[in-house]
Amino acid sequence: MIIGIAYDLRSEYLAEGYSEEDVAEFDSDQTIDAIERAIQENGFKTERIGNTFALCSKLAAGRRWDLVFNFTEGLRGRCRESQAPALLELYNIGYTFSDPLVCALTLDKSLAKKIIKASGLATPDFAVVEKESDIGKVKLPFPLFAKPLAEGTGKGIDENSVIKQKGQLKKVCEDLLKRLSQPVLVEEFLPGREFTVGVLGDGNDAYVLGAMEVTMSEPSMPLVYSFAVKEECEKLIKYLPLQKGKLFSQVADLALQSYKVLQCRDAGRVDIRCDDKGLPHFLEVNPLPGLHPTHSDLPMIATQEGTSYNDLIGSIINNALKRLKK
C-alpha cells in the first residue's frame, strides 16, 4: 500500500519570497521527515506529493495513491484547508483528517462558534468586524480578545490582542483588517486557565487522548498564545498535564462534544479556556493539528499519555483506512 503525503513546506514558500508571517501555518522539513518515517515504520510505502498545486499536477498526470496523508493548509482564503480534500474526493481517493466542509467551517472561527453555541456548548460571546465601520458596533464588555477570523498557529495574535478599551479595539482591528485582509473575530476575554485537548477517532468512536494546561514560564507574563510565543514555546511556555478530576472531566467532555458536533475525524486539537468562575469554554478546534514530534501540541499530549509518535500517526492512518472499507 502506497500512502502519498500532501503538505505545505515552509522552506519552499520562503524561497519563493513569502514572509515568515505568510507561512506561519506551514510545516518544517523536520515535521515532514518525521511523518514520512512514522508512516514507513507503520508498514506502508510512501510518496511525497507536496502542496495542493503539486497534487493538482500529479492527479492530472494520472498519479494515484491508496491513501493520502493530507496535511495541506492551503495558501489563500478561508476555504484553503478544504482544497486538497475536495480534490481527493473528486478523484475518489481516500485521505486522512476531516472532509472539505469541516476544514472550511472550522477555519472560519465565527461559524464554528455559532454551531457550538447552537448546540448548547459554552463559548465566549463574540462579534465579527468585517470592515472599519463595524468596530463601533461591537457591544461586548471589556476586556476583549481580537484575532483574525480564519488563521491558525497564533498568526495575527500578539501582546496587543487583549483589549481593555475602545481606542485599543479600533487600532488593533484596523491593523488586522489591513495586514491580513480578512475579518476580525472579537470575543470576550476569559481570565481563567487555558487547556488544549487531543482527540482521536471520529463519530461514536472518538475519544480524548489527553489534556494539557498551557501556562507562561514567567508567571507575571499574561498568557497570549501568539505565533511568536508558539515558535519559542520550549523557552516561553510551560505545559502541564491536566490531572484527572472534576475539571479534567469538564474540559474533556467539552472538547469531545465540540469535536463531535463539528464532525471532525481521525485527530484534532480543541482549545479551551475557563471564565472567571472556572467554567470551561470552547475557543476553537484545529482539525489539522501540528505534528512536529516534540514541538507540536498533539504529539506532546500523546507523549504525556504514553503514546509514541509512531502510534499516533498509525492511529490517524488506521482510522482513515476504516472509511475505505465501508
Q: What does the pLDDT read at residue 225?
A: 62
CA distance 183 to 35: 33
Q: What does the pLDDT read at residue 59?
A: 98
CATH number of 191-324: 3.30.470.20
Is the Cβ–Cβ distance between 295 and 236 less than 8 Å?
Answer: no
CA distance 156 to 179: 9
Q: What does the pLDDT read at residue 69?
A: 98
Q: ∠ CA 145-285-274 to the nearest 5 degrees?
A: 50
For residue 283, give every residue at least 6 positions away whose Cβ sits within 8 Å of its Cβ, in sequence order, or none: 123, 124, 271, 272, 273
Q: What does the pLDDT read at residue 227?
A: 63
pTM over 0.85: yes
Does the domain at 125-188 match CATH 3.30.1490.20? Answer given as yes
Q: ∠ CA 325-60-6 to the nearest 5 degrees?
A: 60
**Residue found by looking up cell 498535564 in the block:** 241
Domains 125-188 and 191-324 fall in the same CATH topology: no
Q: What does the pLDDT read at residue 220?
A: 58
| pLDDT tens by residue, 232-242 | 667 778 899 99
Q: What is the DSSP string of 124-192?
A: --EEEE-SGGGGGG---PSSEEEEETT--TTTT--TTSEE-SHHHHHHHHHHHHHHH-S-EEEEEPP-S
CA distance 267 to 288: 8
Where in the chain are the domains? 2-96, 125-188, 191-324
CATH number of 2-96: 3.40.50.20
Q: Which residues of the chain are under the pLDDT cut of 70?
A: 219-223, 225-233
Residue 120 in grid coordinates: 448548547
Q: What does the pLDDT read at residue 199?
A: 98
Residue 95 in grid coordinates: 485521505
